[in-house]
Amino acid sequence: MNQIVPQVMIGNCLSSNDEDYIPSWKCFDTWVIQAQYFWQDCNEEPRVMCGDLVHVEPGEEIKTCIRYDHKTGSITVSIAIMKEDERGDGRDSVTKAEDHKRRSKIVVDRPFPHKHTHFESWMDFFEKCISAECEVKAKKKEEKGNGEEEVQSNSNEIDESGCLARPYLNIEYKGRVSVETLQSVCPLEVKEASFPGFTSKNWRKYLFCPRTGDTDTLDGLEENDSLHIDDAIILSK
């Protein structure tokens, strides 16, 4: 399992790691942001690489970024508070820039960094994943050629053209949290969300509970970029 998460957190949260990437938890009574790479080892034990913890106030604007460098095969994860940057160009102009003093950032050279023998880089990981996908596809074609019936595809079937993934906005909660409690921290306004080939209008937003494994889509308000937890969403079984 791999999970790259520039995130906003409150409550009892995984927030640090030792030199072996063993995680530790801490309880926060105010909002914090942090860049994290979370994964599970072969024994399904949690491991994590954490950036700096940065406190954030309600109403502040946050920018997150996950960037893959094809030259080095590394992934950079960052989350930062935006600040106004006034430029003295003779006109009143105000732009937004990342506050580097209030930024959490990590550079992940390879997946599963506690075991350097697994993969040399993310590029190595991606190439081996694509190779494995191609082998599965070739095997299915061979079985079909041997007279086996083709399984009809449906909307839930995974595309076999290669390794596919895209980021999404996820509100993750643990324990028995009431709708009212979650609504007290919503709506969240997404001003812009993009990655190659997609814009924020096509971005799905999810409500996820690791305890139950349930995932619900968050309904939009007046605009697709605004988030709202609908009263009808069942948060616990």
Rounded Cα–Cα distance for residues 213 and 236 (Å): 10
Say if residues 231 and 179 touch (Cβ distance below 8 Å): yes
Q: What is the DSSP string of 207-230?
A: EEETTTTEEEEPEE-SSTTBEE--
Are the CB atoms for 190 and 220 separated by under 8 Å?
no
* Predicted confidence (pLDDT) per residue in 190-223, tens digit: 777 777 766 666 565 566 665 555 555 554 444 4
Per residue in 11-59, pLDDT (tens digit) is: 899 999 999 999 999 999 999 999 999 998 888 899 999 999 999 998 8
**Strands, E, within 51-93: which ranges?**
54-55, 62-69, 74-86
Q: Which of 131, 126, 123, 196 is nearest to 166 (CA)?
A: 196
Domain segments of the chain as ranges: 1-120, 122-163, 166-237
Query: What pLDDT score does 51 carry?
Result: 97
pLDDT in tens, 119-132: 889 999 888 888 88
Q: Which residue has the tokens 């596919």?
A: 164
Strands 23-40, 46-50: parallel, antiparallel or unpaired by DSSP? antiparallel
Determine the pLDDT at residue 87: 59
Mean pLDDT in residue range 90-114 = 86
Strands 94-108 and 74-86: antiparallel
User: For position 229, what pLDDT does the model report?
Assistant: 46
Q: Please state, rounded to an integer, the average pLDDT across all residues of the chain.
A: 76
Check residue 74 and give its pLDDT: 94
Q: Taking 60 as the threshold, does the pLDDT of residue 228 lie above it? A: no
